[in-house]
Amino acid sequence: MTFFRLVQEFLENSADRIPEKVALVCGDERLTYAEIEDRANRLANGLRNNGIQRGDRVALFMPNSVELVVGIFAVLKCDAVFVVINATTKTDKLVYILNNCGVSALILSPQQKISYEELHTSCPSIKFFVITGGEEKFLKKTTTACFSWAEILSSYPPIRYQTKNIDLDLACLIYTSGSTGEPKGVMSDHSNIIFAVNSITSYIGNTEDDVVINVLPLSFDYGLYQLFMVFSFGGRLILEKGFSYPAQILALIEKEGVTGFPGVPTIFAMLVNMDLSNYDLSSLRYMTNTAAALPPAHILKIRDTFPNVRLYSMYGLTETKRTLYLPPSYLDSKPDSVGIAIPGSEVWVEDEDGNRLGAGQIGELVVRGRHVMRGYWGDEELTAQRFRPGRIPGERLCYTGDLFRMDEEGFFYFVARKDDVIKSRGEKVSPKEVENVLYKIEGVHEVAVIGVADAFLGQAIKAFIVKKNPSLTEKEILLFCKNHLEDFMIPKYVQFVDELPKTSSGKIKKTELR
């Protein structure tokens, strides 16, 4: 197995070893490892020449694209920390994230409809912007320091810079929702990522011949790790912007000879209800599912539809990347389990007094291993709650906030979340964040947002609203949400009620709403 010290070596080692192999297919573009390495080195030298230093945070705000892949590795080559922000993020949340981690530069596509002057005023730590594709008309409209992607790539040499970072330095911040309503940046160092990549690829059995299709955003850790995993073993990544057109994705699987297909329950629910007879999907070797558990009925249907495909049901959270996986040989006997600890890690169930629990008992899942992340950026209090001391001095365990039970053979089963964070479409959604937006609507008096079971979404978002304006409609509510929330945060259900159930102290009792 190749020894990696830093995440950018996934690209560099493959570029040195198999430079002419096509590494990335994205739309009409097909780039070799050598071509991606060339562009990443040029961009890294451009960023460094314009003031990006070791440890600086650089944000990338764009959909899945060649530029996003190049940008991630370029930032790492600067010894800096990359922050990928979902392309559908609205301005208020974008500004919060940029200020929260004090970004020094923002790389974005011109499709993001924002004013650079206003954004620079709101985020004074930004030294400059880099704009990708069709930049000229945007650059003429601003006095803020902006650089054209094409200009940087043509102005700087493709020399590989000698890095100073070690594996304990931060590689990225991945922002995820929490119960407080504000996004929190999970700090991932190089060793966290490298351990997780090595562990996952070992149990999946990836080889250089694997071709993986990724329809998940690189702002989502499950999508991001597809890039890292493929580049680590020298495979090929087919990068798509989403799964909005399933027929197009299926045609790509056939055309490119895809062997690996990572998905979430929403995607697999669509697949099992489609007519697949027009597609030759015989190249598929494995599928993986995480973010929310697949219903056993879907697992069996997928297995029947793809009898030669190994299906890995998995569980993880951004704070540990991956935690559990179910070996495919146990799908028949334990279809509702999410498995055992990933190689090189340890998990158990614990009660509120810190006692380890035995088979059949329900408690919080605790994770120990090199994949336990460093904590939350700038939030020592939240970090201390989630990441607690282990038995070895200086060690941190991750308390997942999820309730599990274990069977007699050591396989784990998800029971419920301890907090009220919703997992919908594979993404974490903070009810408070959705509620804050709903409260901005004129005519809304009180709001409560919960997650309800949904075979297609994992959990669907449901909003209970007490309105003071009788004419307020569900259509108006959803339109406002569409304009102020990311797609996966928009409620599926809106129910108007006369009042919300409350405790004696006036707190809304969401348990009764459920």
State the pLDDT at residue 508: 76
Does 484 or 416 have the greater pLDDT score? 484
Tell me the CA end-to-end span of the chain in Å, nearest whole number: 49
Query: Which DSSP helix (H) or strand (E) runs through 233?
Result: helix 221-233
Q: Other C-beta atoms within 10 Å of 121: how many?
A: 11
Among 39-53, 142-156, 394-408, the minimum mean pLDDT is found in: 142-156
Does 514 or 473 have the greater pLDDT score? 473
Residue range 355-400, pLDDT digits in tens: 999 999 989 999 999 999 999 999 999 999 999 999 999 999 999 9
Spell out the domains of the chain, with CATH numbers in brackets: 9-15+31-185 (3.40.50.12780), 243-417 (3.40.50.12780), 423-513 (3.30.300.30)
* Mean pLDDT in residue range 407-433: 82
Residue 345 has pLDDT above 90, yes or no: yes
Cβ-Cβ contacts under 8 Å for 464 (sequence gap 6 or more): 447, 448, 449, 450, 495, 497, 500, 513
Instruction: Report which DSSP code applies to 236.
Output: E
- Residue positions counted in the chain: 514
Residue 504 has pLDDT above 50, yes or no: no
* Mean pLDDT in residue range 202-217: 96
Residue range 323-344, pLDDT digits in tens: 999 999 998 899 889 999 999 9
75, 158 Cβ separation under 8 angstroms: no
Query: Which DSSP helix (H) or strand (E) runs through 184?
Result: strand 184-189
Distance (Å, rounded) from C-alpha 481 to C-alpha 22? 41
The candidate with the shortest Cα–Cα distance to 375, out of 116, 192, 132, 127, is: 192
Which among 40-54, 293-307, 468-482 has the top mean pLDDT? 40-54
Give me the chain's average pLDDT, please: 90
Q: Strand 105-108 relative to strand 57-61: parallel, antiparallel, unpaired? A: parallel
Residue 194 has pLDDT above 60, yes or no: yes
Confidence category of residue 469, pLDDT binned at 50, 70, 90: confident
Distance (Å, rounded) from C-alpha 426 to C-alpha 64? 17
Residue 269 has pLDDT above 80, yes or no: no
Query: Which DSSP helix (H) or strand (E) runs through 122?
Result: helix 116-122
Q: Is 36 exposed, middle or buried (0-12, 13-18, 19+ CB in 10 A)?
A: buried
Percent of the chain beyond pLDDT 70?
Answer: 94
How far lies 132's CA from each of 20, 107, 109, 126, in Å?
25, 8, 5, 17
State the pLDDT at residue 430: 78
Does 304 or 473 have the greater pLDDT score? 473
Residue 122 has pLDDT above 60, yes or no: yes
Residue 507 has pLDDT above 70, yes or no: no
Cβ-Cβ contacts under 8 Å for 248 (sequence gap 6 or more): none
Among 15-24, 124-133, 267-276, 477-486, the minimum mean pLDDT is found in: 267-276
147, 46 Cβ separation under 8 angstroms: yes
Q: Strand 22-26 relative to strand 236-239: parallel, antiparallel, unpaired? A: parallel
Distance (Å, rounded) from C-alpha 486 to C-alpha 235? 32
DSSP string, 191-222: HHHHHHHHHHHHHHT--TT-EEEE-S-TTSHH
Q: Other C-beta atoms within 10 Å of 247: how many?
A: 11
Confidence category of residue 140, pLDDT binned at 50, 70, 90: low
Residue 505 has pLDDT above 50, yes or no: no
Confidence category of residue 99, pLDDT binned at 50, 70, 90: very high
Instruction: Report which DSSP code applies to 220.
Output: S
Instruction: Kindly state the tokens that stand for 92.
Output: 């208020």
Distance (Å, rounded) from C-alpha 57 to C-alpha 172? 8
